[in-house]
Amino acid sequence: MTNTNAPDDNAARLRRLRFLSDLLDTRFGVPGTKWRFGLDGLLGLLPVVGDSISWVISAYILGEAHRAGVRKRTLIRMFWNITIDYVVGLIPIVGDIFDFAFKANRRNVELIDRDLGSVSKNNPSTE
């Protein structure tokens, strides 16, 4: 699939997706450690419902990647990342630990970045 979006559109989209993935996967830190977690891990503590809410938000990131023109191969990898996160997250206790560690949304935004050929993760639009 070719990217029919203007570079500025994709730059703004990537900024939004980075913010969202940070919120879901790394927004909060444990004082005195380098360990970070986000709302995805916290939502995962709510059996089924929390994991389902996280999956819907992650699916939004996948949809935005599609709209940005990300290749089908990358979209499939992204789909598997969020599916693994969802399915394993449903397992009591093990799934909760996994939700805090896997960070599917960060992985997916990095895949989008690479696929679209972004020069830098913090590449603000210059116009």
The ranges assigned to domains in the chain are: 14-26+37-116
Higher pLDDT, 14 or 126: 14
3-state secondary structure of 91: coil
Chain centre to alpha carbon of residue 117? 17
Q: What is the pLDDT of residues 54-80, one digit of tens each?
A: 999 999 999 999 999 999 999 999 999
In angstroms, the CA 2 to CA 12 distance is 18
Take residue 47 and report the two structure tokens written for it.
Answer: 């059996």
Question: Are 82 and 58 within 8 A, CB to CB?
Answer: yes
pTM equals 0.82
Amino acid letter at 3?
N
